[in-house]
Chain A
Amino acid sequence: MLKDDPLARVLYVDLSRRRFWVEERRELFEECLGGTGVAVRLLEEECPTGADPLGPENPIILAVGPLAGLFPMASKTVAMFKSPHTGNLGESHCGGRSAVSLRLAGYGAIVIRGLSPSPVYLVIDGETVQFRDGAALWGVRSSYTVGSVLRDHTAASGLRTIMRIGRAGERCVTYACVIAETYRHFGRLGLGAVFGSKRLKALVISGRRSLPVKDRKAYREAYDAIFKAATGSPLMQKYHELGTALNVLPLNEIGALPTRNLQLARFEGAEAISGERLAREYLGRRLACAHCPVACIHLAALRIPHPREPYFYKTSMLSYDHEPIYALGSMLGGSDVSGMFMLLDEAEILGLDAMSTGVVLAWATEAQEKGLLSQSETGGLTLRWGDYPSYIEAVRRIVSQPGDFYRSLARGVEYAASLYGGADFALAFGGNEMPGYHTGPGAHLTYLTGALHSHLDSAGYALDQKMAVEGITPTPEGVAQALLAEERWRQVLGSLSVCFFARGVYTPEAALHSLAAAGFELTADELNSLGQDTLRRKYAFKLREGFDPAALRVPRRILETPSPLGRLDEDFIRQAVARFAAEVREG
């Protein structure tokens, strides 16, 4: 690590006492690089065993890696916390301008502790940290309004990140997200509720520091190699053209697109919500995260007529991706695209994770169909597949919580099913709602074994598709090994705070080359052991907080609905989980 690199500086903020200070943590960053590697160490230091995820003892840790601000696509900030949604390890990655702003403000990580006595938002501009009164912003109906107020009241346009929560975060819905730059999110596992529990409405970070490099010429060469790979790669080109929504049709074709709460894996309305169709009829703009030439963010322009008054319209710009399309589209059996976008708009206004929201609504629809819920429980609301006006009303109630039923939905599908039944079709894994892939055993094993119960942990959906194409018969050992290797390597990418979409560009060689230019001399073995150690630490935290791989619930529904690799077998899944869990602990 270069001696004048500000990466080693950790900003500590105590919301209870309204104090802040900076500590030099050089050894920590030299050993763990940054991002996930550093964040898990800080979480070990900060989060006491058995901490209440919504209590003042739960820390918010934000960390970036050495490549942020130096290389393209090192654009993610890693957040770590104890999740109020799963009651266990919480980690979420967000792009936008977050990573560049944090790094160029002159920090490698920020640790936020305590509980503010009253609503507050933090403005961090380089060395300056301000605690600003957030009382007037608390309770504002729309997160968009909060964003525009903060844009007007803070400096450094173009160089700042504006992270904020909506009403869902204030009301501690356990899958509330944190929104950054309007279109990116710390989406999963409820960081928004942790913000809300601390009365922290927003966090604005800006900076435009210079960063040192080891050797100017070598830096430019390493940069050009990454930049060329990023702009020349066919996969990156696809992300730029259609975005992740390009996955909708291929997944539907192979029968892997969860539909109507995964009663089916093919959706008759897939074409209407496909990336191709949305690009043709709705695409209004494409955006990039700071320092990423790929620009995978796709905004739909949605013209919404006023419900009563003629000639009144609003035009919303909504960011779409495969996951929200799956969760709020096919999973809810909806092919009314404007309805789907209006539901997404409401989720954004309230600050809810779109993925968990969709799965919760899908479970509630099926539970109601099966007669598990009475009209008095739902407050007279009838949910039907594809009926968006009812879904929009339901998400409002998830946030306003006018009764036990909606209060239970605000804690996710696992909890709601524990009260009302229907666990067989409650699609959560380790407490986290299912992502949009029913490709085979790999996908579901990622959801079960992944440290965050997220498709991004180890991308089993990609493994499934590879096995299908190559005609490989999956074995529990084979799948467990492949997922473990992938999840370990992703800890390295997370420590560099590189976007996972860039995993094909940041090969081990490219990562080492870029790190060398940033003044980090490592070997490939050292990089691999960092990945292995980071994952082992994440698992150790999970076990400490009560995670038991053998007790994981396998929702019956995933065994009933055939996948492209055939019907899934519970024994196979259990064996693979056991194998994975045994190995990760030794790592």
Chain B
Amino acid sequence: MSKRLSVIDVDRCVGCQSCMFACARRLGEGGLAASCIGVRSQGGMRRGFVVIVCRACSDPPCARVCPTDALTPRSGGGVRLRHELCIGCGNCAAACPFGAVFWDRAQSKPQICVYCGYCAAYCPYDVLALEEIAQEVADAQR
């Protein structure tokens, strides 16, 4: 079974962005350049937050629009990225309706969640969790 990161209760999100920093720290970096999660307000913090993570689609639009097959569907859902094939066209980022394809400006290449779940361990309020992708969900999406 494949795993994916899930936003299980966005109403508990306080906007601390600990997950975003965790994602970058996974690679040993400070700051946020390497982060593949986004937390922003829903147009003013009084309305709460939007947590942007890769949903690991079973038929991912980002992979469909990749002209070089650098992004390919992962078995069970989500995508894998082969950097050496990527030409940095940005189609993938434009295709994701959630904005979950982040952009490495220095390399001009996408940054996409690898479904490791490191971030979820740093969410103090159980907003995020690494979950098994249920087969029926994967089938329904397909």
Contact = CB atoms under 8 A, between A and B. Distances in A.
A183 B45 contact: yes
Given A290-B16, A293-B18, A158 B40 contact: yes
Contact of A219 (B18, B28, B39, B122): B28
B80 interface: no
Given A288-B16, A291-B17, A208 B33 contact: yes
A157 B20 CA distance: 14
A100 B40 CA distance: 14
A286 B30 CA distance: 26
B32 A104 contact: yes
Contact of A227 (B17, B41, B122): B122
Interface residues on A, range: 35 or more
B17 A231 contact: no
Interface stretch (A11-19, A23-31, A209-217): A209-217
B124 to A, nearest CB: 4
A536 interface: no
B137 to A, nearest CB: 27
Contact of A210 (B30, B39, B41, B43): B30
Contacts of B16: 288-295
A213 B38 contact: no
30 contacts: A69-B31, A70-B30, A70-B31, A100-B17, A100-B32, A147-B44, A151-B44, A157-B40, A157-B41, A158-B40, A181-B45, A182-B46, A183-B45, A208-B32, A209-B31, A209-B33, A210-B24, A210-B33, A210-B34, A212-B30, A213-B28, A220-B25, A220-B28, A286-B14, A287-B45, A288-B16, A289-B16, A291-B17, A293-B18, A294-B16
B18 A291 contact: yes
A115 to B, nearest CB: 31
Interface in A266-290: 285-290
A581 interface: no
A148 interface: yes
Nearest to A70: B30
B20 to A, nearest CB: 8
Interface string B54-78: 0000000000000000000000000
A293 B124 contact: yes
A496 to B, nearest CB: 14
B32 A209 contact: yes
Between B21, B39, B46, B125, the greatest number of chain A beta carbons within 10 A of the residue's beta carbon is seen for B46
Contact of B30 (A182, A211, A227, A295): A211
Pick the 10 closest A-B CB pairs, nearest first. A158-B40, A216-B28, A211-B30, A288-B16, A210-B33, A317-B46, A295-B14, A211-B31, A70-B30, A288-B14
A325 B125 CA distance: 27
A72 interface: yes
Contact of A104 (B14, B18, B31, B124): B31
Interface of B: 14-18, 21, 24-25, 28-35, 38-41, 43-46, 48, 122, 124-125
Nearest to B31: A211
Given A182-B44, A227-B122, A208 B35 contact: yes
Nearest to A295: B14
Between B32, B41, B48, B125, the greatest number of chain A beta carbons within 10 A of the residue's beta carbon is seen for B32
Contacts of A148: 43-44
B119 to A, nearest CB: 13
A219 B15 CA distance: 23
A212 B31 CA distance: 8
Contact of A285 (B21, B25, B39, B48): B48
A143 B80 CA distance: 45
A181 B49 CA distance: 13
B124 A231 contact: yes
Contacts of A297: 14
A520 interface: no
A518 to B, nearest CB: 8
B46 A151 contact: no
B39 to A, nearest CB: 6
A72 B18 contact: yes
Given A151-B43, A227-B122, A290-B17, A210 B25 contact: no
B39 A158 contact: yes
Interface in A84-143: 100, 103-104
Contacts of B17: 100, 158, 288, 290-291
B22 to A, nearest CB: 9
Interface in A399-439: none
Contacts of B124: 231, 293, 295
